Amino acid sequence: MFTGIVQTKATVIGITGHDTFKTICLSVGNEFLERLNIGASIAINGVCLTVTKYENQLSDVVGQVYFDVIDETLEKTNLRTLKQGDKVNFERSVTFGTEIGGHIVSGHIHTTALLTNIETSQDNVKLTLNLDERWMKYILHKGFVGVNGCSLTVGDVNRNSFALHLIPETLSITNLGNYKIGSEINIEVDQQTYTTVQTVERYLKSQNRYSN
């Protein structure tokens, strides 16, 4: 379980494997690896991954952490496009007493969206993301959405796209400012919205069945 509040950016320093299985090595500040255990969950670009190995020396500023990524995750997320030197969003899992500043996210990515427009102003950056219509029913104006692991508020919503407004703080802490038009970005819809829509749809289908 995660809060959608990205803690830092990590750097991809190694990728091994093939199209259906990869091991990713990230470099990140040592303070983000404190009291870490093998088997712990960390959200990388919003994807819940299991730590398989880590290295952090007290004398070093940064450490290294390793994850294995299987075929289903590679198919559904933008982790398949990572290359050495890329920055990824990094969030440790929730612990008892963690402040929930965003919304609860599971780290189970539903799909990816295509970045189609970037508008920069003095105070913020507006991103427009195109999303398959089957997922748009879960995207509500002023609702929550997980975008590369970031808990964000949805702006304008159209038939197959929605907008996000990013403040300077979000741009500095996360990798969302690094993307260009045409990039794929991981999407996790809000679980509460998902459950509500699914429940209403099932109810309406049952009513139609009985009325017929």
Query: Residue ranges per domain, the chain?
Result: 8-92, 111-197
Q: Which CATH number among 1.10.1060.10, 1.10.3330.10, 3.90.550.10, 2.40.30.20 corresponds to the domain 8-92?
A: 2.40.30.20
Residue with the two structure tokens 């692991």: 149
What CATH class is the domain 111-197? Answer: mainly beta
Tell me how crowded residue 44 is: count the other CB atoms within 10 A of its CB. 25
Q: What is the pLDDT of residues 9-34, one digit of tens each?
A: 999 999 999 999 999 999 999 999 99
**Six-digit token string for 110:** 């539903």
Domain 8-92 and domain 111-197 have a common topology: yes
pLDDT classification of 205: cutoffs 50, 70, 90: confident
Distance from C-alpha of 105 to C-alpha of 162, rounded to nearest angstrom: 19
151, containing H or E segment: strand 150-157
pLDDT > 90 in the chain, percent? 83
Query: Above 70 in pLDDT, residue 60?
Result: yes
Indicate whether 195 pLDDT > 80.
yes
pLDDT score at 96: 64
Q: The pTM is what?
A: 0.92
